[in-house]
Amino acid sequence: MQSWRRKSLWLALSASWLLLILLGGFPLLRPAVPPRPRPGAPQRWPRWLDAELLQSFSQPGELPEDAPRPPQASRGSSSCNWETCFDTSKCRGDDLKVFVHPVAAGPISETRRKILASVEGSRYHTFSPAEACLRLFLSLDPPAGECSPVPTPWNKGRNHLVLSLHPATCPRTFQLGQAMVAEASPTVDSFRPGFDVALPLLPEAHPLRGGAPGQLRQHSPQPGVALLALEEERGGWRTAGTNSSACPWAGHCEQDPAPEQMRPGETLPNATFCLISGQHADASSRFLQALQAGCIPVLLNPRWELPFSEVIDWTKAAIVADERLPLQVLAALQEMPPARVLALRQQTQFLWDAYFSSVEKVIHTMLEIIQDRIFGASAHPSLLWNSPPGALLALPTFSTIPQNFPFYHLQQGSRPEGRFSALIWVGAPGQPPLKLIQAVAGSQHCAQILVLWSTEQPLPSRWPEIAVPLTVMDGHRKVSDRFFPYGAINTDAILSLDAHSSLSTSEVDFAFVVWQSFPERMVGFLTWSHFWDEALGGWGYTAERANEFSMVLTTAAFYHRYYHTLFTHFLPKALRTLADEAPTCVDVLMNFLVAAVTKLPPIKVPYGKQQQEAAPLAPGGPGSGPKHQPPAPDCINQMAAAFGHMPLVSSRLRLDPVLFKDPVSVQRKKYRSLEKP
Amino acid sequence: WDRGTNHLLFNMLPGGPPDYNTALDVPRDRALLAGGGFSTWTYRQGYDVSIPVYSPLSAEVDLPEKGPGPRRHFLLSSQMGLHPEYREDLEALQAKHGESVLVLDKCTNLSEGVLSVRKRCHKHQVFDYPQVLQEATFCVVLRGARLGQAALSDVLQAGCVPVVIADSYVLPFSEVLDWKRASVVVPEEKMSDVYSILQSIPQRQIEEMQRQARWFWEAYFQSIKAIALATLQIINDRIYPYAAISYEEWNDPPAVKWSSVSNPLFLPLIPPQSQGFTAIVLTYDRVESLFRVITEVSKVPSLSKLLVVWNNQNKNPPEDSLWPKIRVPLKVVRTAENKLSNRFFPYDEIETEAVLAIDDDIIMLTSDELQFGYEVWREFPDRLVGYPGRLHLWDHEMSKWKYESEWTNEVSMVLTGAAFYHKYFNYLYTYKMPGDIKNWVDAHMNCEDIAMNFLVANVTGKAVIKVTPRKKFKCPECTAIDGLSLDQTHMVERSECINKFASVFGTMPLKVVEHRADPVLYKDDFPEKLKSFPNIGSL
């Protein structure tokens, strides 16, 4: 009897032990890593072999050595991470080359077509499977519901990325092996951080490129706008509650028991915060709507991984809160400091526009994340991902130091350099630009002069005596060469010039000082403006003088040297070819590029000679042309199509010296020669 | 115990022989585990906290910070008891690159009484540890039997950039710390390429990483207290995510935090013209002049509302019927006290983002000039956009700042007697003005405009925009230009304000520029009637 009792006690004890071990092995908590069997790691109480070692914290002495351990071999597929399952040695020169597995014959769905076009338009794409270091496999098309078979060669999924822009609607028919998964809104449990890529859940009709801009028209919330919008069952949004979003602005809050306003059927919410609960299957598409609308997403325990969470700091644009504390969350929203509301609102718009507004941006962001993993230390710093203009427009191949870009001086507490390089393009026969060289070299800010000799004409025998170095480079007779990132350009600022340009030292000095205040913009002398032509149903542009402008001519303009890198390595080759074939387009293209990056107009500074000379700077771009001849009208429309939208922004102002043409003695004026009639 | 719910377990040095568990050798259940050597297989992402393996040398050895820059050795390995395969790889690198790679090991023949933990040897050369780490640019931190190594802490303390070679190791506090800024992580497989990988990093980036490594050690590694506080902060931020510490606060070294500016209106955005602006006129009792200002301002097309701040408590504002009839709503706000700060109060009545602050005697601005000012503000919504410009100068003789209102080629302030700005700055002025500046302004009845200029420049890091040419303004200091009487006391007072504010801000935030904004065709040889803003600059 006694022994039986002892036995049952023993049994009960072992059973509870077993339970404990099981619970220990498979924690019931969320979020937690999915259970991964670890062979040969039995759970037990420690044997305290470390006792001696632990002592060493209080009595620093000789640390016992760790027992050596051989390097780990690659693990199985169930436990993949970047180090063990991706072979970076296939990416020669750290370059990502992406090959897309061909699709089986049959109709290609719209989504698939957009993805293919995006990948093929990327600078990472290759048609050669041998060259590829990443093989992309488009997993499935939801409408057809047909699951694709395993591609060949599959190679156990090594260096493969299985892509699905929609959550899996049919079960995967093949073993993932070592393949990475890029999936829309993956569940937190299945997502492998640092290996898989979380994509946004895009609507069917998401545009290929360009895409709708963010809805935000002003920085701060409008007074009286609802504090909170809630999702509706049928896809709309319902704004709820008081106009208390205005209350933090006034500095005093009172509870206003106003009835709920019902605005059914709205596709985009109009409120300061958008509450998105984690339960609904479409929560992540609601998330995108909120982002576009500039409505700060408030997520209650999302069960899905936020898109591009590897690189995007979502704490700057969204609020992830605990659904168990609804009152605390509501109070926190009501009392959120205006500075935080402002910052969150603006960040939603920046992120929407940089990474989400088109299929192309989403796909390119995905590839950029993988390229960053390959780059390792040379990847984008976090600042470049999380502040305008975003990582797709800030190439780490240019620099990984934020101060080298034109965009981050404020955040870094730095200033652009106080010198510039003049780059003079000689593309047409004529007198060598000796006078121009002298005027430019006379500027106290001029570091060097580079002459890009792009004509058959022999070089002049003598160059003017100047105080700064002058280098002649041999051009390739192509207009797009003007914007090549030459190694000789060693200053932040470039003064781009044409041999026919005519500038005074004063003009150069003043324009450069202005550029230092706006290092991300182009600062120029002569302008063009664009307009919508109702009759033609397209864009047009003109060199006529007008009350506003949206482009400055690059035949005399200051800008940051980073734009040469973007022009050459970011723009699609087709656009550069277009510029080479119709040289007048090159100015338009450069202005498109800078405007697309900055979302701001260029800056015009005074130019004294425009009244006297018939053709001071040929508006037709390099090479001479009649003054007001509008350049080939169609390049602007081709470029707007390629960009997916019209990036140009108009300005109605000119920046003049503070005392410009003021009725005060000319002796007091620093830039007096700007005023000579 | 409650199955570990709401428990936090500190596991300073996990694992013991033979299998070196990277988590805990007992079931952790629901307890949060703060552990010193997690691998991705045992780390519960977003739940556990990966902490550093504390190095006793942190407290024992005082290594003064060494400035960034190239050091004697490019790459150093200082760990003892490395696996022979790793050691072979490292020695191969040393053989190939000579002096620039140094691989150290345990000293075998040290005299009695010398702590072997504080010495490292290469052949017969003996080096002091951890001092030798300061002689290297990069320092290898390899996995041992344990993933987490105390060497990481020593390396950071020495301002050496750690090269972490330990696949699946979860770096300390990786939930919040951006290790890309302070370290290089190399897969074990690529160990033989480590030299070329490091050489591709530009020198300037290396220097940033050296600074960052030292800062991480100072902030989060140097004591058990620092480690514990960082762990608690991470858990606190999970519970109160809307009040969490930002990426910058975790990662930016103090020098960057001090010099960097995060503009509250950073999104490049040109607000729609249709929104218009709210004009706020501060007045005391100059009713006749006030009415003229109202009439003039009401002619500006983009005006959407007019707010009169009646600052006189002894006198009632004129009756409703006496006010000029204008096309936009006109509202009178009565204040409780005659304070200059009242002009910058964030009144509920302000519905537009753009605010025009205008004095009750500014009658000389034309409608074109005001409308143009609003257009300029739309292009620079994060700046003060104003008419009369002023400058601050450093007086070398007196060693202090001086206020300047003469005809200068530069501006650093605009007077808020006529200026456009974003209404958010009203909120900042009223609730976030540093120190006692607000009280100083109200006590002296002066310099509210200089205070606003300081505030906006400090928070945005940007200069003001002065619009349109200089005009004759009726203001105390303009009399100097008119050649009547130089109001010396006024200028002295204004200079005093600048010095006072600069000391409160701890810096001189004002930015000097040499430009002003004019309409594109201003003074151009172009038919006046075709210009958008012809009536600019008339005296």
* Tens digit of each residue's pLDDT (9 = 90 or more) over A502-545: 999 999 999 999 999 999 999 999 999 999 999 989 999 998 88
Give me chain B's average pLDDT, please.
90
Count Cβ atoms below 10 Å from residue A347 Cβ, excluding itself.
25
Q: Please check whether residue B12 touches A, CB under 8 A.
A: yes
pLDDT in tens, B42-54: 888 888 999 999 9
Tokens for A191, please give them. 């997502």
Which among A33, A217, A220 is the nearest to B44, CB-wise? A33
> Are B204 and A319 within 8 A, CB to CB?
no
Write the single-letter amino acid at A465: E
pLDDT in tens, A357-408: 999 999 999 999 999 999 888 899 999 999 999 999 999 999 999 999 999 9
- The pLDDT of B126-147, averaged and rounded, is 91
Give dist(CA B367, CA B295) in Å, integer: 10
* Residue A254 confidence (pLDDT) above 80: no
A278: left (phi over 0), alpha (psi -120 to 50) or beta: alpha
* Same domain membership, residue A459 and residue A349: no
Which among A29, A350, A668 is the nearest to B30, CB-wise? A29
Higher pLDDT, A436 or B472: A436
Residues of A in contact with B16 (CB under 8 A): 46-50
Q: Please check whether residue B411 touches A, CB under 8 A.
A: yes
* Same domain membership, residue A491 and residue A451: yes
Mean pLDDT is lowest, of A288-292, A353-357, A433-437, A672-676, for A672-676
Residues of B in contact with A38 (CB under 8 A): 41-42
Give dist(CA B167, CA A83) in Å, integer: 6
Mean pLDDT is lowest, of A190-194, A361-365, B234-238, B283-287, for A190-194
Residues of B in contact with A48 (CB under 8 A): 16
* Same domain membership, residue A316 and residue A446: no
Please tell me the distance in Å from A633's CA to the nearest CA on chain B.
Answer: 24
Choose the most confident range, by mean pLDDT, from A192-196, A511-515, A534-538, B166-170: A511-515
> Are A656 and B348 within 8 A, CB to CB?
no
> Are A50 and B202 within 8 A, CB to CB?
no
Give dist(CA B171, CA B213) in Å, integer: 13
Tell me, yes or no, whether A190 lies in a domain. Answer: yes
pLDDT of residue A40: 36
Question: Which one-letter DSSP state was computed for residue A72?
Answer: P
Q: Whole-model pTM above 0.90?
A: no
- The pLDDT of A81-90, averaged and rounded, is 84
* Same domain membership, residue A447 and residue A367: no
DSSP string, A27-57: ---SS-PPP---TT--------TTHHHHHTT
pLDDT of residue A631: 53
* Residue A329 confidence (pLDDT) above 60: yes
At which residue do the structure tokens 């980073």 appear? A562
Q: Please check whether residue B27 touches A, CB under 8 A.
A: yes
Q: Please check whether residue B223 touches A, CB under 8 A.
A: no
B375-to-A518, B273, B274, B369, B378 alpha-carbon distances in Å = 18, 8, 11, 10, 5
Could you list the beta-strand ranges (E) of A79-219. 98-100, 134-138, 160-164, 180-184, 197-199
User: How far from each other are the two terminal CA atoms of chain A, in whole angstroms?
Assistant: 121
Please tell me the distance in Å from A547's CA to the nearest CA on chain B.
Answer: 6
* Residue B251 confidence (pLDDT) above 90: yes
A62: left (phi over 0), alpha (psi -120 to 50) or beta: beta
pLDDT in tens, A107-140: 777 888 898 899 998 889 999 888 899 998 887 5
Active site residue A66: no
Which among B168, B266, B524 is the nearest to A83, CB-wise? B168
Please tell me the distance in Å from A42's CA to the nearest CA on chain B.
Answer: 9
DSSP string, A527-564: EEEEEEETTTTEEEEE-S--S-BSEE-TTEEEEETHHH
Q: Please check whether residue B480 touches A, CB under 8 A.
A: no
Please tell me the distance in Å from B288's CA to the nearest CA on chain A.
Answer: 31
At which residue do the structure tokens 């023993």 appear? A10
* Residue B343 confidence (pLDDT) above 50: yes
Give me chain A's average pLDDT, please.
79
Best mutation target, A33, A323, A414, to test chain B (most B CBs within 10 A): A33
* Same domain membership, residue A637 and residue A498: yes
Count Cβ atoms below 10 Å from residue A545 Cβ, excluding itself.
17
Give dist(CA B426, CA A249) in Å, integer: 9
* Residue B399 confidence (pLDDT) above 90: yes
Q: What share of chain A has pLDDT > 90, as a percent?
A: 44
Mean pLDDT is lowest, of A43-52, A351-360, A361-370, for A43-52
- The pLDDT of B258-269, averaged and rounded, is 92
List the single residue in A with minimal CA-CA distance to B409. A658
Which among A61, A219, A545 is the nearest to B526, CB-wise? A545
* Same domain membership, residue A233 and residue A172: no
* Same domain membership, residue A432 and residue A506: yes
* Same domain membership, residue A352 and residue A366: no
Which among A68, A251, A668 is the nearest to B407, CB-wise? A668
Best mutation target, A242, A653, A665, A675, to test chain B (most B CBs within 10 A): A653
Question: Which one-letter DSSP state was computed for residue B469?
Answer: -
* Residue B482 confidence (pLDDT) above 50: no
Give kind and range of the element (H or E) at residue B152.
Answer: helix B151-157
Q: Please check whether residue B200 touches A, CB under 8 A.
A: yes
Q: Please check whether residue B82 touches A, CB under 8 A.
A: yes
Which among B41, B115, B379 is the nearest to A62, CB-wise? B115
Mean pLDDT is lowest, of A6-10, A648-652, B32-36, B270-274, for A6-10
List of long-range contacts for A374-377, beta carbons under 8 Å, 24+ apart: A374/A88, A374/A91, A374/A94, A374/A96, A374/A133, A375/A94, A376/B184, A376/B185, A376/B186, A376/B197, A377/B180, A377/B184, A377/B197, A377/B198, A377/B200, A377/B201, A377/B205
* Residue B376 confidence (pLDDT) above 60: yes
At which residue do the structure tokens 């040419």 appear? B469
Residues of B in contact with A57 (CB under 8 A): 12, 54, 56
Which among B204, B244, B532 is the nearest to A547, CB-wise? B532
pLDDT in tens, A14-39: 444 444 333 333 333 333 333 333 33
- Label residue A65 by pLDDT band (50, 70, 90): very low
- Label residue B174 by pLDDT band (50, 70, 90): very high
> Are A62 and B28 within 8 A, CB to CB?
no
Domain count within chain A: 3
Higher pLDDT, A364 or A635: A364
β-partners of residue B140 are B77, B163
Q: Please check whether residue B346 touches A, CB under 8 A.
A: yes
Tell me, yes or no, whether A599 lies in a domain. Answer: yes
* Same domain membership, residue A304 and residue A224: yes
CATH architecture of B64-221: 3-Layer(aba) Sandwich (3.40)
Mean pLDDT is lowest, of A266-270, A310-314, A547-551, A580-584, for A266-270
Of A50, A587, A634, A656, the active-site residue reads: A587
At which residue do the structure tokens 């390396």 appear? B155
> Are B81 and A68 within 8 A, CB to CB?
yes
* Same domain membership, residue A526 and residue A486: yes
A491: left (phi over 0), alpha (psi -120 to 50) or beta: beta
Full residue range of the structural domain in which residue A539 is found: 420-608+632-643
Write the single-letter amino acid at A594: V
- The pLDDT of B249-272, averaged and rounded, is 92
pLDDT of residue A664: 86
Say if residues A63 and A53 touch (Cβ distance below 8 Å): yes
* Residue B97 confidence (pLDDT) above 80: yes
In the three-class reduction of DSSP (H, G, I as helix; E, B as strand; rest coil), residue A199 is classed as strand
- Does the domain at B348-517 match CATH 1.20.120.350? Answer given as no
- The pLDDT of A308-328, averaged and rounded, is 90
pLDDT of residue A614: 34
- The pLDDT of A162-171, averaged and rounded, is 68
Domain with residue A482: its CATH number is 3.90.550.10
Give dist(CA B492, CA B481) in Å, integer: 16
Count Cβ atoms below 10 Å from residue B406 Cβ, excluding itself.
11
* Same domain membership, residue A229 and residue A111: no
pLDDT in tens, B102-119: 999 988 877 776 777 888
* Same domain membership, residue A237 and residue A189: no
pLDDT in tens, B421-459: 999 999 999 999 999 999 999 999 999 999 999 999 999
Query: Which residues, including other chains, have CB under 8 Å from residue A602's CB and lie 6 or more apart?
Result: A521, A522, A523, A524, A527, A549, A550, A551, A552, A557, A591, A594, A595, A651
- The pLDDT of A638-665, averaged and rounded, is 93
Q: Please check whether residue B301 touches A, CB under 8 A.
A: no
- The pLDDT of B268-275, averaged and rounded, is 93
pLDDT of residue A488: 96
pLDDT of residue A48: 38
> Are B27 and A321 within 8 A, CB to CB?
no
Residues 111-150 of chain B whose Cβ lies under 8 A from any Cβ of chain A? 115-117, 143-146, 149-150
Say if residues B227 and B36 touch (Cβ distance below 8 Å): no
Choose the most confident range, by mean pLDDT, from A439-443, A661-665, A673-677: A439-443
Tokens for B249, please give them. 């606060």
